[in-house]
């Protein structure tokens, strides 16, 4: 169901969080506030952005491909979105692929009135539900899994909108954080496992919701609390906030990769500073995989906090041995056919005067396909490094994600095909080590992993999926027919 995003590093050699959502109700200028919040969440999706607003009588929508500033920077663009309630979405494409018809928030006129939804996550039985709905006569306008929720709400026979939404969500599996707008107010909710993040804040009389707390910092809102797993929060136009718990309680499994890479380091996730967690991962990595070296060098920018932690714990000096260009974007045009530099060299350059003659410890957040890691190691050697040791601030990524992360198919994940020593040979490093799964858990403030009852969703490392994978099983006619088994499914 996931597709590789066309503008990923190289051939998709990074895991990509697929969506960021922001919503505001009872705000004097809800759409401009939402656009600012989306800008803070731009790292969660850079393919397209959309905002839907409501002025008490009508819903208004504007969507566009590209970054938030490309669609919502002009005053006239935001003037098209009047009202005191708005929800927005930034995305890469997972289920459904690219195209304006899939840009969220999705909107529909239901019998009970307008209904707009912004969704972060992935519904792992969307194809099965869609086939059933189409068989009953439903007509879909997009190829997004999120539209399945709209159809389920529209066909529910319960009397109130909240009950219809609950009825719909009880039929879906997978991960979702939702911001829903109706003529009665705004509803925010997380799936019972809390796989994808969602937080609530306040700005004066306005209540705001966002995928990450950094959006509150940027908009001036005050972080109030995280939306709890399985919680549904309804905010009315009278300012009343109602918390509902309509689902059977389950042991939460928030995504641990938010700590490793997805969230901005200045966010708070699962009650812990992301920056502090990443530093702690680096410290743990230094304890588990020390090496004699002269410099600790981060792969920018995602490797920086872990590299600081590694350096502080090991006593090896931290230095910026790789300089990143912040001006290489998806519209980069090569000056000529003969100037065929790799994506890595366009984006990163060795600090040659610093690394020449040195033993280097490279710190990165993950290894996905391994192609970028290989090129960075080679770049260090070309710059004169005498030894290049690679340390990774996460366990080996050996399994695909089906919960809203753009992951290559499992056969293309380096750790699915190789053990650590062959991986080291592939990337041509002098040594290679990953933080252990227990070390990762400890670094983010948890006890060592309870294999019988894991505290996080860590399926990309362990293959221990917290939900059924109905569509995957249907598409492959059982995991046994896959070239690479999907792993344990809880």
- Crossing angle for the helix pair 146-155 and 126-135, to the nearest 10 degrees: 40
Q: What are the DSSP E strand ranges found in 227-313?
A: 232-235, 241-244, 268-269, 272-273, 295-298
In which residue are the tokens 């990524």 written? 397
Widest pairwise Cα distance in the chain: 73
Enumerate residues 6+ apart whose C-beta is below 8 A from 257.
15, 394, 401, 405, 458, 460
Sign of CA dihedral 437, 449, 43, 63: positive
Separation of alpha carbons 319 and 333, rounded Å: 31
Q: What are the DSSP E strand ranges found in 55-92?
A: 59-65, 85-91
Separation of alpha carbons 39 and 33, rounded Å: 10
Enumerate residues 6+ apart whose C-beta is below 8 A from 309.
278, 279, 280, 281, 282, 283, 284, 285, 286
Q: Hey, which residues does 24 pair with through a beta bridge? A: 86, 208
Q: Locate 276 and state its tokens.
A: 């502090």
CA nearest neighbour of 173 among 210, 136, 145: 145
Rounded to 5 degrees, what are φ and ψ at 300? -75, 155
Identify the burial level of 283 via C-beta atoms within 10 angstroms of its C-beta, where 0-12 means exposed, 13-18 middle and 19 or more buried: buried
Residue 232 preceded by cis peptide, ω within 30? no
189 is catalytic: no
Separation of alpha carbons 320 and 384, rounded Å: 15
Residue 442 preceded by cis peptide, ω within 30? no
DSSP assignment of 364-414, as one string? ES--SSSHHHHHHHHHHHHTT-SEEEEEESS----S---SSEE---GGG-H
Enumerate residues 6+ apart whose C-beta is below 8 A from 307.
282, 296, 297, 298, 318, 363
Determine which one of 8, 19, 189, 255 is catalytic: 19
Catalytically annotated residues: 19
């Amino acid at each position: 169901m996931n597709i590789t995003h066309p503008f990923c590093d190289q051939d998709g050699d990074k895991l990509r969080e697929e969506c960021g959502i922001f919503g505001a109700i009872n705000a004097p200028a809800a759409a401009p506030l939402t656009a600012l919040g989306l800008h803070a969440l731009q790292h969660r999706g850079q393919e397209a952005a959309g905002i839907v607003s409501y002025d008490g009588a009508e819903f208004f929508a504007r969507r566009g491909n590209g970054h938030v500033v490309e669609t919502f920077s002009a005053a006239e663009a935001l003037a098209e979105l009047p009202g005191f309630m708005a929800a927005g979405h930034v995305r890469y494409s997972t289920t459904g692929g690219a195209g304006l018809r899939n840009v969220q928030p999705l909107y529909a006129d239901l019998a009970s009135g307008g209904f707009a939804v912004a969704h972060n996550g992935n519904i792992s039985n969307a194809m099965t539900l869609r086939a059933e709905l189409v068989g009953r006569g439903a007509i879909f306008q997009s190829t997004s899994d999120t539209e399945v929720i709209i159809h389920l709400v529209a066909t529910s026979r319960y009397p109130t909108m909240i009950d219809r939404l609950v009825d719909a969500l009880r039929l879906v599996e997978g991960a979702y954080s939702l911001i829903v707008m109706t003529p009665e107010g705004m509803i925010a909710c997380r799936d019972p496992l809390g796989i994808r993040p969602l937080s609530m804040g306040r700005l004066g009389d306005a209540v705001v919701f966002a995928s990450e707390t950094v959006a509150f910092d940027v908009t001036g809102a005050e972080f109030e609390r995280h939306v709890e797993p399985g919680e549904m929060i309804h905010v009315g136009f009278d300012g009343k906030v109602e918390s509902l718990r309509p689902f059977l309680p389950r042991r939460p499994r928030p995504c641990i990769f938010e700590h490793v890479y997805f969230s901005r380091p200045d966010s708070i996730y699962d009650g812990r500073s992301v920056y502090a967690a990443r530093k702690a991962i680096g410290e743990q990595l230094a304890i588990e995989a020390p090496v004699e070296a002269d410099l600790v060098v981060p792969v920018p920018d995602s490797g920086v906090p872990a590299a600081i932690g590694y350096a502080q714990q090991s006593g090896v000096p931290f230095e910026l041995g790789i300089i990143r260009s912040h001006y290489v974007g998806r519209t980069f045009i090569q000056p000529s056919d003969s100037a065929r530099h790799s994506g890595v060299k366009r984006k990163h350059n060795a600090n040659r005067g610093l690394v020449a003659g040195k033993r280097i410890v490279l710190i990165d957040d993950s290894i996905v396909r391994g192609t970028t890691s290989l090129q960075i190691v080679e770049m260090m050697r070309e710059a004169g490094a005498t030894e290049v040791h690679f340390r990774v601030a996460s366990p080996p990524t050996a399994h695909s994600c089906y919960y809203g992360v753009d992951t290559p198919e499992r056969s293309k994940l380096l750790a699915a095909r190789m053990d650590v020593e062959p991986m080291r040979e592939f990337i041509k490093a002098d040594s290679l080590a990953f933080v252990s799964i227990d070390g990762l858990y400890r670094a983010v403030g948890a006890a060592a992993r309870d294999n019988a009852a894991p505290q996080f969703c860590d399926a990309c490392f362990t293959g221990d999926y917290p939900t059924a994978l109905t569509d995957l099983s249907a598409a492959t006619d059982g995991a046994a027919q896959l070239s690479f088994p999907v792993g344990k499914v809880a």
